């Protein structure tokens, strides 16, 4: 008869729960311990699960340059470690995400990267019980300390874009934020407000707008801002998609950036440099964010003793042609 888990635990000098974790492929065991226990299990006829060589990326949509950059970053990092990325789509709300994750676990995976999706605690516990580590990229809400995540310095990005416009002489600066239920959108908006306050410029509520991170929202909100009795001289858009919508709204009114209004974006997607005019924007290191998340996941799979849990990568202001000093003064 082969030894029981209790007997193997005594031989290995560890607890029964540790032996059970190794047997079930859990990653929360030190590498040296897992190797020692795994060897004992194999010698006594137990089979530990093999790694699949697959890591799953779950994202809301693939139809955007933003998504392209994140997928490219994950695929590139995985190729360095002879691993493959499986791309899945899932809605951000409701039971859709949990169902997708359950299918992934049933099929077999070494870990899951989610983009702008934070599974609830019940789903996270199911993943942990199956030994499937999780890293969240650009979490939609502030994650708990126990959740591994990668984000960017959104507050600093909002601050730097607004500060750039202030340094050009603008004072009537509007903002089109993303939806305020989104953590990154609130951070960018707070950065905008901080820059105005630091420059002793009051925040005019009429100039603070919000909408989805898409061209349609930027277009609609820009038209509304242009219809104000005193339109702004500059607009800080929540992302590049919104900024493209702002540029379209200006063109429809016979106006141009930056002659009639300065415009900034956020993300620096691949087409930002090809906009007309080329877009001044805050570069969010999207490919590096996905690559960092993948490497964090691999550390978790390996049971590394040193594991970062929440990482923020720096944003950078990229100045192009869509911003300039206001034509008639900034007041």
What are the tokens at 83? 């691993």
Q: How far is CA 51 from CA 5, 110, 151, in A?
A: 22, 6, 27
Specify the pLDDT at position 92.
64
The per-residue pLDDT of the chain, averaged, comes to 90
Lowest mean pLDDT among 86-90, 150-154, 307-311: 307-311
Nearest-angstrom CA–CA distance, 255 and 225: 13
Map residue 308 onto helix, strand or coil: coil
Strand partners, 58: 88, 114
Average pLDDT of the residues in 288-305: 85
Region 29-45: mean pLDDT is 80
Give the pLDDT of residue 49: 58
Question: What count of Cα atoms within 13 Å lies in the side-chain half-sphere of residue 167?
Answer: 9
**pLDDT of res. 328:** 73
Residue with tokens 């004992």: 40
Q: Is the N-terminal amide bond of 258 cis, ω within 30° of 0?
A: yes
- Mean pLDDT value across residues 149-170: 98
Tens of pLDDT, residue by residue over 164-187, are 999 999 999 999 999 999 999 999
* pLDDT bracket for residue 6 (50, 70, 90): confident
Please tell me the predicted confidence (pLDDT) of residue 32.
81
pTM equals 0.83
Find residue 262's DSSP bridge partners. 234
Give me the pLDDT at residue 241, please.
96
> Above pLDDT 90, what percent of the chain?
66
| Separation of alpha carbons 266 and 237, rounded Å | 7
Work out the pLDDT band at 50, boundaries 50, 70, 90. low
DSSP state of 229: S
Q: Residue 244: what pLDDT?
A: 98
- Residue 213 clears pLDDT 70, i.e. is over it: yes
At 2 the pLDDT is 57
Residues 238, 58: Cα–Cα separation, whole Å:
23
Q: E strands within 153-246? A: 173-177, 208-210, 234-237
3-state secondary structure 233-281: CEEEECCHHHHHHHHHHHHHCCCCCCCCCEEEEEECCCCHHHCCCCCEE
DSSP assignment of 118-148: ---HHHHHHHHHTT--EEEES-SSPPPTTSE
Please state the rounded mean pLDDT for residues 294-318.
84
- Position 1 scores a pLDDT of 47
Q: Is the pLDDT of residue 31 over 80?
A: no
Give CA torsion, residues 313, 145, 71, 109, to 10 deg: 150
Cβ atoms of 82 and 53 within 8 Å: the answer is yes
Residue pLDDT, tens place only, 85-138: 999 999 866 668 888 999 998 888 999 999 999 998 999 988 988 888 999 999
Residue 272: per-residue pLDDT: 96
Determine the average pLDDT of the residues in 283-301: 92
Q: What does the pLDDT read at residue 18?
A: 87
Report how far apart, in Å, the C-alpha atoms of 260 and of each of 107, 146, 236, 301 are. Answer: 55, 48, 14, 53
Q: Which residue has the higher pLDDT, 92 or 268?
A: 268
Respond yes or no on whether the N-terminal peptide bond of residue 199 is cis (omega within 30° of 0): no
Q: What is the pLDDT of residue 164?
A: 98
Q: Point out the least confidently predicted range of 30-34, 50-54, 229-233.
A: 50-54
């Amino acid at each position: 008869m082969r030894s029981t888990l209790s007997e193997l635990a005594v031989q290995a000098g560890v607890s029964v729960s540790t032996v059970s974790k190794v047997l079930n492929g859990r990653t929360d065991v030190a590498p040296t311990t897992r190797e020692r226990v795994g060897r004992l299990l194999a010698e006594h006829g137990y089979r530990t699960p093999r790694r699949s060589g697959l890591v799953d990326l779950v994202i809301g949509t693939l139809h955007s340059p933003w998504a392209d950059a994140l997928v490219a970053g994950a695929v590139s990092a995985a190729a360095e470690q002879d691993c493959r990325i499986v791309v899945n789509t899932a809605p951000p709300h409701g039971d859709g995400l949990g169902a997708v994750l359950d299918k992934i676990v049933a099929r077999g995976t070494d870990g899951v990267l989610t983009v702008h999706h934070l599974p609830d605690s019940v789903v996270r516990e199911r993943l942990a019980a199956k030994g499937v580590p999780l890293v969240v990229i650009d979490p939609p809400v502030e994650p708990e300390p126990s959740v591994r995540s990668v984000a960017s310095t959104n507050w600093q990005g909002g601050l730097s874009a607004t500060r750039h416009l202030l340094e050009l002489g603008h004072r009537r600066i509007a903002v089109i934020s993303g939806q305020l239920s989104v953590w990154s959108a609130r951070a960018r908006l707070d950065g905008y407000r901080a820059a105005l306050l630091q420059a002793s410029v009051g925040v005019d509520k009429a100039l603070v707008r919000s909408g989805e991170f898409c061209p349609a929202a930027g277009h609609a909100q820009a038209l509304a801002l242009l219809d104000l009795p005193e339109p702004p001289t500059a607009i800080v858009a929540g992302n590049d998609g919104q900024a493209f919508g702002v540029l379209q709204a200006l063109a429809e009114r016979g106006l141009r950036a930056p002659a009639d209004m300065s415009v900034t974006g956020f993300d620096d997607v691949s087409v930002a440099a090809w906009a007309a005019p080329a877009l001044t924007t805050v570069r969010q290191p999207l490919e590096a964010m996905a690559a960092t998340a993948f490497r964090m996941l691999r550390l978790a799979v390996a049971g590394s003793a040193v594991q970062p849990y929440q990482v923020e990568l720096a944003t950078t202001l990229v100045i192009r042609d869509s911003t300039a000093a206001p034509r008639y003064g900034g007041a």
